[in-house]
Every structure is written in C-alpha cells, then in structure tokens.
C-alpha cells in the first residue's frame, strides 16, 4: 500500500463520515436540538473551531465521527435537549445519518452511470461461440433474464451475484422471450481452473447495452441501488449462517488494499476514466453498506438507538439515559474489538 492509496482511502472515508454526520446534524438543527459538537474522526482532538453553540472538531482516528447533542446520553432539563423532543423527531434525527449514506450511494450511481458508454441491461445480446454451453442448454439471443435460481434480477449485478454462488455451473433461469415468460431449468456453463486449482465459471454470453439518457440512467440507478442493498442484506444473513467467516470480512486495512487495487489498475492498462468509474462503484458499495449496517439494531449503532425509541413509543416511557448509554458503550467496545480482529486478519492477508 502506498501513501497515495491511504490518502484516497482517508478521503473516501471522510466523505462518507461527513455525509453521515451531516444527516444527524441537519436533522437535529431542523428539530431545534442543541448540538454541542460535530466531530470528524474518533480519539484525541487534533484541531477544530467553535461557531455559535457548536464545536467542530477533527480527531486523530479517521474511522468514524459523531454529533454530540445536548441530553443525548444523559438527562437534561434544557428545552432544546434531544431527550425533550417528541419521539418522532428523535427517530428522524437518529435515522438521518444512514439515510444520507443511502442517498449518497444513489447520487454517485447516477453520476457514474451517466459517464458510462451505455447502460447495461439483462437482455442477451450474443454468445462468444455458437456452441456456448449456455446457448446449447437453452439461452437465446434476445432473452431478457428476470430470475436466476429463483432470485429476481433487477440488473446485471444480480446475475453476477448468483454466478459467484455457483457450485455446479448449472442454473435455473426465467427469461422473457418474445413477450412470453419461460423457465429454463438447466442453463449450463463451462468452468476453468486457476493456478491454485480453484474452479470458476466461464460466462459465455454478453448482454445488450442501452443508449445513455436521463430515463435509462435513473432507471438503471434505481435498480442497481436495490440490487446492491439486497446483496448486502443477503451477505449479512450468509455471515450469520456461517457461509462466510470473519476472515472474509474487511476493515479499514482491507478497504485501503481494495482501493489500491482499483487505483493501481491503471498500471495494467486500465484507462483513468474506467478506473474512476470502478472507484465510484466501490464507494457506492461502501456507503450503502454503511447506511444499512448503521440501521441494524446493534448497540452503539443508529439502529439500536431507533430500537430504544420504538420501545419508548410503545411503553410511553423512555429508557433511563444512563442504562441506554451503558448498553451503547458496551456495544461500542465490542465493535472496536471486532474491528481490531478484522484488521489483524486484513494485515495477515497482505503477506
């Protein structure tokens, strides 16, 4: 990893964090909550300034950030305290950060798609050979793939996702052919063996590209957004089911390494424009991941705070701030512990 890759990674993390915390900050201000501090980063304070009632800080570790609101984790009689606001306003404030990450992902998707040569569809445009196994086993030119192994296909990413889960190189595909829905029970593909003896699937067809226009860009961006969000959810469930292990997770070191691979691809003949598009696609995945992960009901995350607020809404009585604060503190320590373990595995992968 070079210094350039680290700088780019810090910038990427910085933008995602700023957008997330700006969501909390803006929602809090609109709801009349007093914001004591807006912090980018964690740990010791490096520098900052004050404006009005709010301090703005940059801290040593670029792994997060926070918006400190009056009465957020302790009781406060200030009428502008977080805890004095109605539950619905507090829910908006708590969820606004994750929502901004999701919006950022969608905006980047629109920008990246606008600069593509064409908008990718799921309609088969042709085969690399007349005897391509997928063609021989039933796939035809003009088929619009709408399901693979029972999963609804929103865009090309969903097809690739199902191919990555392959175990036998045989897939059930549902297609639209000449206006009719058909199910192809066993579309097959060849495989290849790499130098380490691992098998991979050979995709022997290519899909049609549509002309770039405002309609096709927005339509594809919506479908791509839904696809990425669903894949992230499915991956989380796969992790819980044991399909993936902690060794498959990536922390800051792993992400820097991936960014380095994308940026460094120009040395392998990839154009700067294509590299930037690939980088934007990677950032889309990260920011949507951050948005979804933060909505999970895990202590210290926004989702857990929203969960406590929903409990308050049902029982019409708030949890004691000290109790909720303790729960979030324990969760934060556990998350830090997980991050340390994941970072160790990331470093081991480099050697």
What's the CA gap between 178 and 163, in Å, rounded?
A: 25
What's the CA gap between 230 and 273, in Å, rounded?
A: 28
What DSSP letter does each residue of 133-149 carry, written as one string? HHHHTT--TT-EEEEET
Q: Residue 217: how many CB atoms within 10 A of its CB?
A: 20
How far is the CA of 192 from the CAs of 266, 299, 334, in angstroms? 26, 44, 41
In terms of C-beta distances under 8 Å and separation of at least 24 residues, what long-range contacts does 99-103 make, across chains too?
Answer: 99/23, 99/291, 100/19, 100/20, 100/22, 100/23, 100/291, 101/16, 101/19, 101/20, 101/23, 101/287, 101/288, 101/290, 101/291, 101/294, 102/225, 102/229, 102/287, 102/288, 102/291, 102/292
What's the CA gap between 224 and 154, in Å, rounded?
A: 7
What's the CA gap between 68 and 91, in Å, rounded?
A: 16
- Considering the candidates 21, 70, 72, 324, report the single residue annotated as catalytic: 21
How far is the CA of 99 from the CAs of 92, 293, 347, in angstroms? 10, 11, 32
What's the CA gap between 148 and 162, in Å, rounded?
A: 7
Q: Are strands 170-177 and 35-51 parallel, antiparallel or unpaired?
A: unpaired
Handedness of CA 240, 191, 159, 228 (dihedral sign): positive
312 is catalytic: no
Angle between helices 87-114 and 302-315 in degrees, nearest 10: 140
Which residues are catalytic, by number?
A: 21
């Amino acid at each position: 990893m070079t210094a350039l890759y680290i700088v780019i990674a810090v910038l990427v993390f910085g933008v995602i964090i700023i957008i997330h915390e700006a969501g909390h900050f803006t929602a809090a201000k609109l709801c009349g909550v007093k914001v004591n501090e807006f912090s980018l980063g964690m740990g010791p304070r490096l520098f900052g300034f004050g404006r009005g009632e709010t301090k703005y800080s940059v801290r040593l570790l670029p792994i997060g950030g926070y918006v400190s609101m009056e009465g957020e984790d302790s009781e406060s009689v200030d009428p502008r305290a977080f805890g004095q606001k109605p539950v619905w306003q507090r829910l908006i404030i708590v969820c606004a950060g994750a929502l901004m990450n999701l919006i950022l992902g969608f905006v980047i998707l629109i920008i990246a798609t606008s600069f593509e040569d064409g908008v990718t569809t799921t309609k088969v445009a042709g085969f690399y050979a007349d005897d391509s196994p997928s063609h021989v086993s039933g796939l035809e030119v003009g088929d619009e793939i709408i399901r693979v192994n029972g999963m609804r296909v929103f865009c090309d990413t969903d097809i690739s996702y199902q191919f990555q889960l392959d175990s036998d190189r045989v897939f059930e595909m549902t297609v639209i052919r000449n206006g009719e829905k058909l199910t192809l029970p066993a579309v097959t593909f060849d495989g290849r063996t790499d130098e380490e003896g691992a098998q991979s699937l050979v995709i022997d067809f290519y899909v049609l590209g549509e002309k770039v226009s405002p309609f096709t860009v927005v339509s594809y961006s919506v479908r791509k957004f839904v696809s990425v969000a669903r894949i992230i959810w499915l991956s989380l469930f796969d992790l819980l089911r044991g399909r993936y292990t902690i060794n498959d997770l990536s922390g800051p070191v792993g992400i820097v390494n991936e960014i380095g691979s994308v940026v460094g691809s120009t040395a392998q003949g990839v154009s700067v424009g294509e590299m930037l598009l690939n980088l934007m696609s990677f950032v889309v995945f990260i920011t949507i991941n951050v948005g979804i992960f933060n909505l999970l009901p895990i202590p210290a995350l926004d989702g857990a705070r929203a969960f406590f607020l929903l409990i308050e809404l049902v029982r019409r009585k708030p949890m004691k701030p000290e109790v909720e604060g303790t729960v979030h503190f324990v969760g934060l320590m556990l998350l830090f512990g997980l991050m340390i373990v994941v970072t160790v595995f990331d470093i081991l992968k480099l050697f």
